[in-house]
Structure 1
Amino acid sequence: MNTETTTARTDWYPEQKLIVTQLSGDVDQADIEQWEQSLHQALAQIEDGGSFKILVDLWGFKAVDLPTHKRYREIIPLTLASYGWKVGYVDLFEEAAAMTFTTWRGIRCMGAAHAHQDATKIEKYESLFGRDTERFFTDPRLAEEWILQL
């Protein structure tokens, strides 16, 4: 991982009940593994029976190859499914039919904001899947402002 150009981290802010997970730069498989591990470490800090909101900040993310892209693509939907959350865009993928939704340790996801630089994709996702508890943004700061108000 080139730490000068790549970010792969997750932070838990208990006072806001907010997880902020960030993946940016030219990302390889090792970066994806580090990012996923940081996400699970942050989720482990939430008390049993608790709840959280999540900001998925992928602004500036670019997978270095197709296997990396495929691996990254499943992490957020599958992880959040373990906390009772169905990501809006998940039905675009065939794998969605086999997904199960549970509440690990009784913890529930209550809202999600997604940020990415691909305006065409984000505008489509926002128009098709945006809702009161889930929104899609091209500006990470706007995504953070929105999720903090949720």
Structure 2
Amino acid sequence: MQSHHASHWDDTLSILQTELKGSVTREDVLLWKKNLHAALERIPDGRAFRLLLDLKGFEPVDIEAHKAMRLVIPHILLSHGMRPAYADLFDDPGKLSVTLQRSQRCFAFANVHHDENKMGQYEMKIGRSDQRFFTDPDKARQWLIQQPVPLSGPQDLP
């Protein structure tokens, strides 16, 4: 399957949706990342948002493609007020600095992937009230929409 990537900011629902699918090369990941950051730029300063990552059908062609992809979303979460649940998979994740870029806060993150076993394990081990793991993009989107937008104003970082 040929690679496909897209990112879209939905201002009405405050959802940044991004997807990376198919046989993905390192170059595909770099294009996806560029497109994702362009979509992030469309989010108004000071805005709270939801993030939907859809990797259903993502098949990196080699380890370099996987390495290029695996830190993109955790970096976005960290720079938008959220400690990635992925960090809980490691005994010592190192120092994670949570910041607020342009005062934008990600308050809900849904991760979609086709591997039912992996998503089930992630949901059980590291799923949280603000971060969930799914195999169905529609269920992920529904969960995101149900997450209430936090009140604006100064908030403590985790």
TM-score when normalising by structure 2: 0.88
Determine which structure has the larger helix proportion and give its number. 1
Match of 1:102 in 2: 99
- CA deviations 1:59-89 (Å, max 9, x no partner) are 0001000011111011100121110111211
Gap regions ≥5 residues in structure 2: 148-158
Please state if 1:92 is matched with 2:89: yes
Which residues of 2 match residues 16-95 of structure 1 at below 5 A?
16-93=13-90
- CA deviations 1:12-61 (Å, max 9, x no partner) are 00010100000000000111011111111111111111110011000000
Moved over 2 A (4+): 90-96
Match of 1:6 in 2: 3
Write the letter of the residue equivalent to 1:109: C
Q: How many angstroms does 1:93 deviate by?
A: 4.5
Match of 1:137 in 2: 134
Write the letter of the residue equivalent to 2:44: E
Give the number of equivalent residue pairs. 147
Question: How many Å separate the matches in 1 of 2:35 and 2:74?
Answer: 16
Let me know the Cα RMSD of the aligned residues: 1.5
TM-score when normalising by structure 1: 0.92
